[in-house]
């Protein structure tokens, strides 16, 4: 009996050591191969997609491209699919309500992954909360959707063309539009044929060497003129190349700016005229008095008004001027009749 009891205890110790070794090996394998650490170092989240694609249990979850967790379960959620994930606690500040989860790819073979964009400026998502999801523009699903939309647009365009809508549709279905296009093409053919034969202005321009030579000569003369201008020859060349002229223009601009500044400040007579309200009031009052005087003149008031409006006064003045002219004429003809100078001495 003592021998049997000793043997059983030794076997028990070997079993305990073996179990401990297996547990430690499993923990080490899990720690090395697991993406999110031990289970007490991870927290659960959810992501909902319209199309889960290649995502399944065990699919890696990456934050900023770094694998920090994995998918634990995939299930239906109404008309969509829902992935339950576990990620490391150390990325909790980065996975917020401003993050975006998309389905990416791990390799060219199409193995799926869930990529989450970090957004530290948002609010952290609690356990079992939903991470906002979207579609990766470079994913096959997104490209398929864009291609499908393009095919739909093409199909609608072909339907409209067959129905005769738009210019192309009318061209394909309307005989009159086709005949007009055919007539236009025939007219264009005739025009190009006439041009190739040297008819018309364009035809002569294309086929007559004399006109070409004249254009070449004109171009040469223009080049010579521009060369002289560039060298500063002539009035225009001096205007463009003379530094003294440029300095004079700059000085004139400075003087003009000085004058306008003085006007804005109210310097001088013109400046006061622009900025002095009292002078403006005086001018307004003077204009009002002139308007009152012109109104009275138009009404015939006063001597000047009567002179302008009274016809009899005008006739009398006209007659007086006529008599004065006659008197002057008579004096010139016979001065002795009107001028009698008598000189007497003491």
Closest C-alpha among 88, 85, 149, 145 to residue 112: 85
Specify whether 71 is located in the same domain as 156.
no
Please check whether residue 223 lies inside any domain of the structure. no
The closest alpha carbon to 51, from 127, 120, 131, 112, belongs to 112
Whether 120 and 149 map to the same domain: the answer is: no
Contacts of 145 (CB under 8 A, 6+ apart): 135
Q: Do residues 104 and 113 touch, judged by C-beta distance below 8 A?
A: yes
Same domain, 122 and 162: no
Single residue among 136, 163, 196 that ends a domain in this structure = 136
Residues 54 and 131 in one domain: yes
In a domain, 23, yes or no: no
Give CA–CA dist 73/55, Å, rounded.
10
pLDDT at 105: 72
Asked whether residue 298 is domain-assigned, the answer is yes
129: domain range? 34-136
Q: How many domains does the chain have?
A: 4
Question: Do 122 and 57 reside in the same domain of the chain?
Answer: yes
Within-domain flag for 42: yes
Domain boundary among 158, 183, 206: 206
Give the per-residue pLDDT at 96. 92
Whether this prediction's pTM lies above 0.85 is answered by no
Residues 126 and 185 in one domain: no
Residue 217 in domain: no
pLDDT mean values, one per 10 residues, the chain (346 residues): 54 70 64 54 90 86 90 91 92 91 72 88 91 71 66 82 76 74 83 76 73 80 82 72 73 82 75 72 82 79 72 77 81 71 54
Q: Does a structural domain hold residue 346?
A: no
Specify whether 93 is located in the same domain as 185: no
Establish if 87 belongs to a structural domain: yes
Dist. CA 294–CA 282, nearest whole Å: 18
Q: Are 273 and 281 in contact (CB under 8 A)?
A: no
Let me know whether 39 and 131 are in one domain: yes
One domain, residues 193 and 155: no
Q: Are residues 114 and 59 in the same domain?
A: yes
**Are 100 and 158 in the same domain?**
no
pLDDT tens-digit map of 227-249: 877 777 776 677 677 777 767 77
Same domain (yes/no): 324, 311: yes
Quick: pLDDT tens for 14-39. 777 777 777 676 656 555 444 455 56
The DSSP code sequence of 35-59 is SS-SGGGEEEEEEEES--TT--TT-
Place of tokens 């300095």: 247
The verdict on residue 246 lying in a domain is no
């Amino acid at each position: 009996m003592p021998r049997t009891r000793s043997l059983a205890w030794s076997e028990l110790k070997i079993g305990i050591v073996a179990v401990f070794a297996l547990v430690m090996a499993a923990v080490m394998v899990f720690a090395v191969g697991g993406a999110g650490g031990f289970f007490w170092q991870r927290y659960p989240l959810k992501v909902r997609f319209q199309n889960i694609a290649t995502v399944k249990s065990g699919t890696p979850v990456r934050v900023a491209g770094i694998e920090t967790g994995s998918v634990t379960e995939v299930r239906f959620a109404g008309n969509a699919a829902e992935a339950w994930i576990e990620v490391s606690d150390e990325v909790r500040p980065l996975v917020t309500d401003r993050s975006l989860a998309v389905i990416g790819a791990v390799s060219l073979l199409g193995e799926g992954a869930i990529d989450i964009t970090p957004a530290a400026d948002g609010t952290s998502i609690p356990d079992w909360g939903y991470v906002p999801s979207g579609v990766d523009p470079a994913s096959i699903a997104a490209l398929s959707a864009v291609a499908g939309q393009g095919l739909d647009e093409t199909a609608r365009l072909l339907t409209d063309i067959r129905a005769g809508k738009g210019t192309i549709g009318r061209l394909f279905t309307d005989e009159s539009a086709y005949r007009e296009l055919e007539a236009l093409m025939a007219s264009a053919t005739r025009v190009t044929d006439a041009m190739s034969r040297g008819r018309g202005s364009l035809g002569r321009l294309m086929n007559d060497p004399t006109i070409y030579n004249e254009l070449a000569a004109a171009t040469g003369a223009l080049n010579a003129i521009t060369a002289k201008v560039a060298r500063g020859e002539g009035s225009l060349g001096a205007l463009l190349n003379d530094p003294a002229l440029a300095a004079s223009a700059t000085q004139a601009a400075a003087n003009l700016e000085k004058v306008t500044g003085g006007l804005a400040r109210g310097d001088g007579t013109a400046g006061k005229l622009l900025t002095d309200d009292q002078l403006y009031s005086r001018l307004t009052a003077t204009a009002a008095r002139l308007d009152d005087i012109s109104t009275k003149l138009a009404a015939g008031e006063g001597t000047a008004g009567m002179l302008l409006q009274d016809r009899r006064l005008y006739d009398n003045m006209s007659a007086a001027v006529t008599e004065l002219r006659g008197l002057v004429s008579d004096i010139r003809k016979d001065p002795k009749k009107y001028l009698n100078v008598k000189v007497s001495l003491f």
